[in-house]
Structure 1
Amino acid sequence: MEKFNILIMVTLILASGLMASLAQKNISPPRHVPGYPLHLLHCARRVEDECGKEIFLGMFEKLPVSKNCCLQLIKKMGKTCHDDLDKAIVHLRKYSSRASTAIPKGNRIWHKCALVARHT
């Protein structure tokens, strides 16, 4: 199964890690989103695997997001999903120490992609 959806697998791991993290901290998932892990999974499925990787790596590395992936982020994923996935990622122990830089990078990616989409 070479075309296994890596982004979906990562999202499931992120969602389960987030839920464990929230449980340890006695914090509930967002009340306005019933079935939060499922919500994250649906969000992740809205972009192609390669685009999910580009966006993720853009938050933690100095890697650009391609025009194609920007368009998928803006037109298919949307701001709410993007923000929710960003927050879920930085709640994981592995990435929590980088939250102060990853969240702003995620926001910069969104704004740059919004400009790309506007000019298309």
Structure 2
Amino acid sequence: MEKAILITFLIATSMVYQSLAQDEEISPISPESFAYEPAAAYEYDHDLLDHMTTQRIKFLQDCSDKMSSKCGVEMTEGLIDDKPVSENCCVNFLKIGRDCHEGLLTFVFATYELKDAASEILPRSKRMWNKCVETTAAKIGVPLAFET
């Protein structure tokens, strides 16, 4: 179960930090080059998982399974760049439901590397949700409310 959450975290991190996923020349890493202490980040994220119930981890895993990876990437980029998402991804987004959406975002942006971005990203996620409700909900017959 922790493996699925870790994979979700790694995917989210690679979407946020696109440069990590690009090929480039490998050079030796000096300790000064880290923006954070890797051991501290690992310990922080491990503690985050340790404080979650098995039921909560299962819920988040089920939520991440419902979201297509293509839309997950598009939505993450949309949140970071403050851009709208496609109608197809809005459909996928709305079908996973608000509880899943909020749960995944809360978890991902509670991690060590992303916790400082939460105050900026979470309001964007509400705008994205509301835009998808406005443009797509009626087309798929889902009676969804706007997020306040």
Same fold (TM over 0.5): yes
Q: For residues 93 and 12 of structure 1, do their structure 2 counterparts lie closer, same or farther at Cα, with a shift above 3 Å needed?
A: closer
Does residue 59 (structure 1) correspond to residue 59 (structure 2)? The answer is no
How far apart, CA to CA, are the structure 1 residues paired with 2:66 and 2:79?
A: 18
**Contact in 2 for aligned 1:74/1:113 (Cα 8 Å):** yes
Distance 1:52 1:8, change over 3 A: farther
When the two structures are aligned, how many residues end up with a matched partner?
Answer: 105
Ranges in structure 1 where 5+ consecutive residues have no aligned partner = 1-6
Change (3 A) 1:21 1:8: closer
Aligned identity (percent) is 26
Tell me, yes or no, if the aligned pair for 1:51 and 1:69 is still in contact at 8 Å.
yes
2:103 alignment partner AA: D
Give matches, 1:18-33, under 5 Å.
20-22=46-48, 28-29=51-52
Q: Does 1:49 align with 2:75?
A: no
Paired position in structure 1 for 2:56 = 36
Q: Deviations over 1:74-103 (max 9, x none)?
A: 12x100000000101111111111110111
Partner of 2:91: 71
Q: 1:38 to 1:23 in 2, by over 3 A?
A: closer
Question: Which residue identity lines up with residue 68 of structure 2 in the other structure?
Answer: E
> Could you tell me whether the CA contact under 8 Å between 1:21 and 1:92 is conserved in 2?
no
Instruction: Choose 1 or 2 for highest CA Rg.
Output: 2
Amino acid at match of 1:20: H
Q: Which runs of 5+ in 2 are unaligned?
A: 13-41, 140-148
Counterpart AA for 2:82: K
C-alpha displacement of 1:19: 5.8
Q: Over the residues paired in the alignment, what is the CA RMSD in angstroms?
A: 2.7
Q: 1:95 aligns with which of 114, 120, 129?
A: 114
- Letter of the structure 2 residue corresponding to residue 112 of structure 1: K
Q: Per the alignment, do residues 90 and 21 of structure 1 end up closer, same or farther by CA in structure 2, a change over 3 Å counting? A: farther
2:114 aligned counterpart, secondary structure:
helix
TM-score, L = length of structure 2: 0.60
TM-score by length of 1: 0.72
